[in-house]
């Protein structure tokens, strides 16, 4: 694994990030002492991402959903609430 000092990392950051993204991690060191390891994120492929609506057709919302429990709420808080 490649080790680079902070100055070199700042100078060649784009190239180093491209290498890490391709699976070649590297270590950034300060005064020869390793500080951090840079590795590519294991981001999911576009087809693997969870999407909104994945349960479409499996859940039914009642037409009176916004009125459900209104009698109990009025009883608890009064009609002026």
pLDDT confidence bin for 33, thresholds 50/70/90: very high
How many domains, in total, are found in the chain?
Answer: 1
Q: Tell me whether residue 59 is in a domain.
A: no
Q: Which residue's structure tokens are 């991690």?
A: 25
CB-based contact 58:44 (threshold 8 Å): no
The CATH number that applies at residue 20 is 3.40.1620.10
If one compares 68 and 29, the residue with the highest pLDDT of the two is 29
Q: H helices within the chain, ranges in order?
A: 6-11, 13-21, 70-77
Q: What average pLDDT is seen over the chain?
A: 87
Q: Among 64, 10, 67, 59, which Cα is nearest to 38's? A: 10
Longest alpha-carbon distance in the chain: 72
Please report the pLDDT score of residue 13 as a whole number.
Answer: 95
pLDDT digits (tens, 9 = 90+) for 42-62: 866 666 667 778 788 888 888
């Amino acid at each position: 694994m490649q080790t680079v000092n902070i100055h070199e990392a700042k100078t060649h950051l784009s190239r180093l990030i491209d290498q890490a993204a391709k699976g070649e991690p590297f270590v950034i060191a300060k005064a020869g002492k390793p500080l951090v390891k840079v590795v590519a994120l294991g981001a999911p492929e576009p087809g693997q991402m969870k999407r909104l609506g994945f349960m479409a057709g499996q859940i039914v919302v009642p037409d009176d959903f916004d009125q459900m429990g209104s009698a109990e709420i009025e009883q608890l808080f009064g009609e002026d609430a």
